[in-house]
Structures are given as C-alpha cells and as structure tokens.
Amino acid sequence: MPEFSALRSGRGPQLARELASLGLLTLGLTACLARTPPTITRVLAGERTQGAFVSPYAYEHYLRAEMAAARGDHAGAAREFATARLGAEDDPFLVAREAESLEASGDHARADRVLAEGRRLDADSEALWLAEGRILEARRNLPAAASAFERAVEAAPRSSRGPLALSDLRLEQGAQQSALAPLVAYLARAPERGADALKVRLRVALMRGALGEALAAADTLGPRTLSDQERRLLTRLALRARRPASAARFAGLLHGPEDSALAIRALMAAGRRERALSRLRGRRPAEASGEARRWASFVLALESPERAVAELEDARIAIPALGPALVEAQLRVGRVDAALDSLTPLLSGQASADTRRLLEDGLRRAGLQALAAELASRAQLTQHQ
C-alpha cells in the first residue's frame, strides 16, 4: 500500500534480520521493537511526508483491518485499525480509516471522536480531510463535505484525490461547470504528475464527452486500474460513438449486478455473443417493468427460440409485464395457439401498439388474415380519432 511504502523501502528485510537476531520475530509478525522507530520519508498520494516507520505489528493489523472492511465487517475493521494505531507513533492515515470504518458500522459518534483525535494529531492531513468529507457526504451534509474536500486540496495540492472527490461531489449536486474547476486547476499546477495527472485528464475528457482523449488516457493507465464508474462512463461514451470494441473492453471488467445490462449491450454490439449470453444466464429479471423488458429483449436476441420460451414462461409468473415478450417468443417457434392464449389477458383495457402488432402477427400465422386486417384497420381508425 502506498500509505505504508516504508515497508518496501529496503528497511523491511533489514528489520526482519534485526528482529530475528533478537529472537523476537514470530511467524505472524506480531512482535515489534521496544524502541522508537526511525523516522522515514513516505509518499502518500503524491505528497512526501516525514513519519515513523510502521512496525510489522502495526502493518499486520492494518492488513487485517482492510480485509475485514472488504468483506463488510466494518466493526471488526475499526477494531483492527485501532490496534494498528497502538505503535510508537500514531498515524493520520490509520486514524482516517478507523473513522470511516466506524461510520460504516453505524457508530457515528465514535467516528466523530476519532476524527477529532486525528485533527489534534495532524490538522493538515489529506487522508483525514478526505475521510471527513466522505463521512459528511454520506450523511448528506454536502456543504460541509465540500469544505472538507477543499481542505484536502489545500493540504496536498499535488495529489489528485482531493480535486477528484470535490469534482464528484459537485457533479452529484448537478454543477457540471463547477465540477470541472478543481480538475482544471490541478492540471495547471501539476501537469507532469504521471498517473495522477492521467486520472484527472481522463475524468475531464469523460465530462466533456471527448472519447479520443478519454481512451488515450484510459489505455495508458490500463483498464484494470480504473474505477467502475470510469469504466461505465467509457462504455456508454464508446457505445454512443459507435466504438463497440472499445465499449466491450471496458464493460467486460464490470461485474456488479447493476452493470449487467450495460455489459450485455456492449458485448452484443461488439459481436461477442457467447460472452453476452454467459452474462445473461447469470442474471434474473428485475421486477421493475423497464428492467424486465430490457432483460426480455436480451433473452429474445441471444437465446435459442425454445429456450427463450421456457425462460420467459418461467419469469412471467412473477412479472406479468413480460407477457408481450413471451408471445413474441411463442410466435417464433410456431406455437400460435399458445401465443393467442397468452395475448388474451393482455387485450383487456387499453392495449399498447406493440400488443396489437403481436396479435396481428399471431392471427396471420393462424390463417385468420381477415381478422388481422380488421384489427389493423381498427388501430388506424383509433389513431386518427
């Protein structure tokens, strides 16, 4: 982790030899030296700071904390972060992570107390101001969150994390132009900052809809280094620009349930039918009618006709809005009588144009050409009235 880059600075092996020679090194790295750690230089999000070397004991608890947070055990993560802070010198980054874990666990009062401790420890820590901003944003205190992110920018002007957080917050508030300002200002003062600057350039290009610039930055960074939100934006932008291969490349790395429809669209557009079908078969339709219809359209486009009928018959039990899609699937496999039976409940009340079209198709396939023509003429008459 960059926050504890001292462990990669060359001191790690030397410290291990020192501990081993003293008989203090254990398999779990739970021991630490009973002396004040040396002061070393860390790089935290682009900022070089002086601080105490993090002992193996503290680092082990830090790793345990992050793993607990990743599996959703935020209370356990907070306990491990608190234990990691018990070394010879406290660390603002650990304080920030403990506060965020407490907030995520629902212990808001303790989260505030830990943040206050952190400010007494280091009033100019970027990590602390970012944590406070995220906590306030989650509480929907957006003006205070914006102030905290602004303090993060002041604390670490060459880091991209504060500008990106402030920009995201302003976007959430619907202020597009204001959201660009901190990013443009960052690039003006730190144009040569490597990956940090590329991240910001990517965000600016996405906000401006500049696909070429966005793809160039994303390719340099590598698709796997991007956030899911950046991958979503790139996928949508590439689809709008009719760049299906690029859309599929980013969509293929989206694995959240909310991303399935977008990923399937991108994979279908790129002609990657088997991968799209694999994503579809791992997904069940949502009950919301719009989501259900989108799922049904994928079933009709990707599944074999017989399997589409079976899938839609099963899903329609819980979601009646899938009726028209089921009728279409039944007509495709020549099950005209079943399709007309399925249409019957759909014709009560005001039938939609799509439902009438399906009925006309079914009547023609059943050999009832005159009835189909009558239905079509009635629909035209209704439209003109």
Residue 1 contacts by C-beta under 8 Å, 6 or more apart in sequence?
A: 62, 66
Could you read off the pLDDT of 297-320 as tens digits, one per residue?
A: 888 888 888 898 888 888 877 887
Distance, in Å, from the CA atom of 114 to the CA atom of 136, rounded to the nearest integer, reads: 14
Cβ proximity of 259 and 251 under 8 Å: yes
pLDDT for the residue numbered 319: 83
50 class by beta-carbon count within 10 Å (0-12 exposed, 13-18 middle, 19+ buried): exposed
Closest CA to 100 of 84, 81, 117: 81
Condensed to tens digits (0 to 9), the pLDDT of residues 120-160 reads: 989 999 999 999 999 999 999 999 999 999 999 999 998 89
- Is residue 162 within 8 Å of 130, Cβ to Cβ? yes
Percent of the chain with pLDDT over 70: 74
Q: Return all residues near 107 (Cβ < 8 A) that are at least 6 apart.
A: 75, 78
Quote the tokens at residue 309.
Answer: 């009928």
Where along the chain do its domains lie?
1-123, 308-385
**Which conformational region is residue 283 in: left (phi greater than 0), alpha (psi within -120 to 50 degrees), or beta?**
beta
293: confidence class by pLDDT, cuts 50, 70, 90 = confident
What phi, psi does 211 have (nearest 5°)? -60, -45
Answer whether residue 348 shows pLDDT above 80: no
Q: Give 60-86 pLDDT, tens digit per residue.
A: 898 999 999 999 999 999 999 999 988
The 3 state secondary structure assigned to the chain is CHHHHHHHCCHHHHHHHHHHHCCCCCCCCCCCCCCCCCEEEEEECCEEEEEECCCHHHHHHHHHHHHHHHCCCHHHHHHHHHHHCCCCCCCHHHHHHHHHHHHHHCCHHHHHHHHHHHHHHCCCCHHHHHHHHHHHHHCCCHHHHHHHHHHHHHHCCCCCHHHHHHHHHHHHCCCHHHHHHHHHHHHHHCCCCHHHHHHHHHHHHHHHCCHHHHHHHHHHHCHHHCCHHHHHHHHHHHHHCCCHHHHHHHHCCCCCHHHHHHHHHHHHHCCCHHHHHHHHHCCCCCCCHHHHHHHHHHHHHHCCHHHHHHHHHHHHCCCHHHHHHHHHHHHHCCCHHHHHHHHHHHHCCCCCHHHHHHHHHHHHHCCCHHHHHHHHHHHHHHHHC
How sure is the predictor about 13, in pLDDT bands with cuts at 50, 70 and 90? very low
Would you say residue 211 has pLDDT above 90? no
Q: For residue 35, is pLDDT > 50?
A: no
Structure tokens, 313: 């018959």
More confident site: 12 or 335: 335
184 contacts 171 by C-beta, under 8 angstroms:
no
Q: Which two tokens stand for residue 201?
A: 């350039």
pLDDT(379) > 60: no
The pLDDT of residue 5: 34
* Crossing angle (nearest 10°) for helices 369-384 and 353-365: 160
Indicate if the pLDDT at residue 251 is higher than 60: yes
How far is residue 81's CA from residue 101's CA, in Å, rounded to a whole number?
Answer: 9
Confidence of residue 54 (pLDDT cuts 50, 70, 90): low
* Mean pLDDT value of segment 182-202: 85
Tokens of 159: 């880091």
Token pair, residue 360, equals 């006309």
* CB distance 137 to 169 below 8 Å: yes
| Of the candidates 208, 247, 207, the residue with the CA atom closest to the CA atom of residue 231 | 247
Residue pair 68/76 in contact (Cβ under 8 Å)? The answer is: yes
Q: Any idea which residue has 């008459």 for tokens? A: 381
Q: Is the pLDDT of residue 378 over 70?
A: no
Over 80: is that where the pLDDT of 333 sits?
yes
Q: Which of 38-52, 194-208, 214-228, 269-283 has the lowest mean pLDDT?
A: 38-52
Does the domain at 1-123 match CATH 1.25.40? Answer given as yes
Mean pLDDT of all residues belonging to the chain:
79
- pLDDT-derived band at 372 (thresholds 50, 70, 90) equals low
What tokens were used for 190? 């730190």
List of residues 6+ apart from 368 with CB closer than 8 A? none
pLDDT in tens, 351-367: 567 666 776 777 777 67
